[in-house]
Amino acid sequence: MNVVKTLFLITIINLIFTIKSNAQDHLSADKLASTVYLEAYGNNMVYSLNYEKVLYIGKAIMTTYRAGIGGVPNRFGIPLGIHFLKGSRGKYLDMAVGLSYVYGSQVISSSTGKERGEGIFLAPTIGYRRQLQKGFFFRANAGLNIKLKEYNKTMGKSGLLPIIGISFGHSFGSKIKG
């Protein structure tokens, strides 16, 4: 594993543990809701299975964090994100900032065959979320994948990729605002 991958993984693990410890300062962890969902064309650019947990419930904004894993044949990704939700009664405006590590291969030309590429992408999104305390979860969002770092020139020429994502899943736990 090269140095960049190692540093990326250490940073992500540290971020997750920091978020978890801060969440426990505000509300007991057993009182916070969780969601498991499948996302298509979100900040992972293809499909991903994600776990999301409520981090903080304030008077006006609820904050969640998520981590996932996904891809399709020849492409693998790890999407992470922080979501800021405004609304009530299970209907929310969902504003998020995501970060994805993507590794994959694609055919560059018939003479060279497949080449591998890696990249890190930032994905600010905005959308609508329907989330019940226990049960159904749905989200539709739009945004951009912004190329931050590319290790090979196989991920595409543009640094910006518009995204329209859709997610379906299941919420469980004991506390969601509204």
**Percent of the chain's residues with pLDDT above 90:** 34
What is the pLDDT at residue 92?
A: 93
Angle made by CA atoms 102, 167, 7, in degrees to the nearest 5: 25
CATH number of 3-172: 2.40.160.20
DSSP string, 93-112: EEEEEEEEEEEEEEEEETTT
Q: How many CB atoms lie within 10 A of CB 38?
A: 16
DSSP 8-state class, residue 132:
-
Mean pLDDT in the chain? 78
CA distances from 101 to 80, 98, 151 (A): 9, 10, 11
Phi, psi of 18 (to 5 degrees): -65, -45
pLDDT higher at 154 or 102: 102
pLDDT tens figures, 20-75: 544 443 444 445 688 999 999 888 778 999 999 988 888 888 899 999 999 888 88
Question: SS3 for 155?
Answer: coil
Q: How many CB atoms lie within 10 A of CB 98?
A: 24
Where do the structural domains in the chain lie, given as residue ranges?
Answer: 3-172
What is the pLDDT at residue 160?
A: 82
